[in-house]
């Protein structure tokens, strides 16, 4: 299992410089990958094209770029451009986002999310592979070719939690990228569903990228309380709430990896045994606990 970091989104006028510093730190400490979100701050692909191009070696991924606000041809062009800037080190993570964001903020219809993603891939994937896209769907239409430079293929992982989305990720994409999904759910639901779909489609076993909050601490109760506060929104969004319910978790704090060095190491290493191919640690502590957490993660990498 490859171990990387899920980077906190930097802000302020020097956000790109901060991101470059975070990526450089991850690369210098030997982490296999660094993942950034695309919410309401930096545009993840633009930021990675700038900050990541100055840090060689490390895989860089988006977790995730929402599909609805971007025509798949536009996203393909942007992803190929970013991949070119990074020398082929980009993994494109995409997702549906959430109904409250897509309908109430962006004003798009969120009525058929699984159909939308299937049709979206029917345009996105051919263009990423250097082919022409000719597709007439219910939610997506395109007749276009790109001459954007390509540095190999851009792997695509989908934020997939529900059964239909996991099947789609296995059949069409390179894997899935997870957030707030606990080990029981990964072992019993995610890995079997996506792997079966990939094999039935004659595709290689998919990547399962798992991102979870991590903190090394002697005060588990305090760390859990902080996780509950910092990540509270994810216990309210329906897609994550469904995975927490499947896990038997009351909230995000219950799937956070928290404890002493040995306990945290055992939990992370246990993810490899259930089929996680890539772990992205989202650290959320500060001070001495942050230093202990980073030290342990570096040790696991080495």
Q: Residue 31: which of 4, 62, 6, 1 has the closest Cα? A: 4
Residue % of the chain over a pLDDT of 90: 99
Compute the distance between CA of residue 99 and CA of residue 39 in angstroms, rounded to an integer: 14
What is the pLDDT, as a whole number, of residue 30?
98
Cβ(241)–Cβ(221) under 8 Å? Answer: no
**271 upstream amide cis, omega within 30 of 0:** no
For residue 164, pLDDT beyond 90: yes
For residue 162, pLDDT beyond 90: yes
What is the pLDDT, as a whole number, of residue 21?
98
Q: What is the pTM of this model?
A: 0.97
Per-residue pLDDT tens over the stretch 26-73: 999 999 999 999 999 999 999 999 999 999 999 999 999 999 999 999
Buried/exposed 178-196: b ≥16 CB within 10 Å, e otherwise: bbbbbbebbbebbbebbbe
For residue 9, pLDDT beyond 90: no
Give the C-alpha distances (Å, rounded to integers) separating 119 from 112, 213, 296: 11, 32, 42
Per-residue pLDDT tens over the stretch 204-225: 999 999 999 999 999 999 999 9
For residue 160, pLDDT beyond 90: yes
CATH label, 160-302, candidates 1.25.40.10, 3.40.50.10490, 3.20.20.30, 3.40.720.10: 3.20.20.30
């Amino acid at each position: 299992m490859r171990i990387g970091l899920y980077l906190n989104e930097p802000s302020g006028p020097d956000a790109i410089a901060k991101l470059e510093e975070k990526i450089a730190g991850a690369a210098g400490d030997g982490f296999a990958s660094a993942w950034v979100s695309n919410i309401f701050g930096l545009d993840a692909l633009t930021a990675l094209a700038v900050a990541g191009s100055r840090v060689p070696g490390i895989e860089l991924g988006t977790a995730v770029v929402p599909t609805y606000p971007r025509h798949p041809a536009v996203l393909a062009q942007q992803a190929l451009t970013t991949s070119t800037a990074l020398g082929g080190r980009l993994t494109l993570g995409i997702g549906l986002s959430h109904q409250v964001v897509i309908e109430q903020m962006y004003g798009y219809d969120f009525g058929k999310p699984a159909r939308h993603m299937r049709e979206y891939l029917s345009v996105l994937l051919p263009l990423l592979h250097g082919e022409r896209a000719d597709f007439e769907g219910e939610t997506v239409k395109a007749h276009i070719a790109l001459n954007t430079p390509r540095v190999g293929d851009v792997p695509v992982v989908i934020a997939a939690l529900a059964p239909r989305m996991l099947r789609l990720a296995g059949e069409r994409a390179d894997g899935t990228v997870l957030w707030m999904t606990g080990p029981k759910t990964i072992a019993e639901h995610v890995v079997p569903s996506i792997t079966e779909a990939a094999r039935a489609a004659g595709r290689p076993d998919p990547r399962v990228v798992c991102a979870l909050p991590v903190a090394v601490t002697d005060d588990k109760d305090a760390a859990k309380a902080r996780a509950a506060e910092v990540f509270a929104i994810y216990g309210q969004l329906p897609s994550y709430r469904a995975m927490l319910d499947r896990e038997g978790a009351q909230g995000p704090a219950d799937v956070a990896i928290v404890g002493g060095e040995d306990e945290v190491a055992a939990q992370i290493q246990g993810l490899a045994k259930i089929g996680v191919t890539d772990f992205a640690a989202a650290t959320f502590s500060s001070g001495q606990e942050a230093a202990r957490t980073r030290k342990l993660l570096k040790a696991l990498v080495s």
